[in-house]
Structure 1
Amino acid sequence: MLLDKVAQNCVEVATDKVGCTAIQKCLGHVGGMPLELLMTGIVCNAMVLALDPYGNYVLQYVIKMGVKKMVIEVLHGNFVRLSMDKHASNVVEDLLRYSEENDVAVIVEEIMTSRDFLTVVRDPFGNYVAQRALEFTKGGLRFELSFLINSYRKNLQNHIFGKRVLAEAMKILMEGNWFNV
């Protein structure tokens, strides 16, 4: 069957300009076992697809379809690197936007505990991930993230990308109602 071939070659198809659109159409119009095979192929190759100019769109499509937890499991341990990549940062942002609170926490805590945390916040792509992290974390983690960002105030206040993240963190700290969010 054609979809079996697409599933077997999902990386080649998803990383092609035309194939990227075709695979998304397949995802939107099939069900059952063919859909499961295709989704499995995409999720298993999430790292390659996240970094690809076309493949990242396929991965984002799968995330929006609801397959978030498995993508997070496959990408776990790479969120810092992915956050600073032009294409993969969009995948990380979508994971933050569409995931449950506990799954968001997994991503954010991985980034927060990295020795490259400041690099992510000051990165041309990573700063957007940091802003989404501030937007989609809740309660104590949101405060902890805001506080951590504020602790780098001197490194961020005059930095072209870092100052945006710092401004968002300061807004949260000034509101003071982080545990009610």
Structure 2
Amino acid sequence: MAALILGAVSPSSFAQHGGPGLVTPPVRLDDTWLVDQTGRKRLLSDFLRQGVTALQTIYTGCGTVCPLQGGLFSAVQERIPGIRARHPVQLLSVGIDPLSDSPSALRAWLARFQAGPAWNAATPALTDVDRIRVALSGTRTPLGDIADHSTQVYCFDANAMLRWRSADLPRVNDVCDVLGALART
């Protein structure tokens, strides 16, 4: 169902940032504190160093593209067990509305999409949201408000380096292929 919904949405309707494809050279994001769905405060690098990571930005109150992104990660999650890997593969939804993306809202978000143990959600402090969004985007262009946020997926290797940016609302197969390639290296 999620695949049908994703195919029906025009990707150009949403804010795409940095060009899709390989990130050359790879980028290490500045570390920042995030609060996860359990209420635990953790560094972004702690999440990323747990394995190969697909990261998306969402906000739990979004009623337009974020549910599509949740459906995308749900479909990717189903395929993770089939990915041959040297490194664990995980998903991270980063809430970009810290005023609403509380631990309980993040838990509800994950539950809505039947997230398993390899899928976490976390949100930074309000003062760090734009810094993270700009770092992920690969551009210095002003990003606008959160309603215009990117629907790209960002893939990190096991060394916490950003290696790939998808097009907006990527195909499940594309995300899985990149995660598989990164997980085997």
Q: Which is richer in helix?
A: 1
Q: Which is richer in strand?
A: 2
Query: Which protein has the larger Cα radius of gyration, Structure 1 or Structure 2?
Result: 1
Q: Provide the TM-score with structure 1 as the length reference.
A: 0.25
Q: Provide the TM-score with structure 2 as the length reference.
A: 0.24
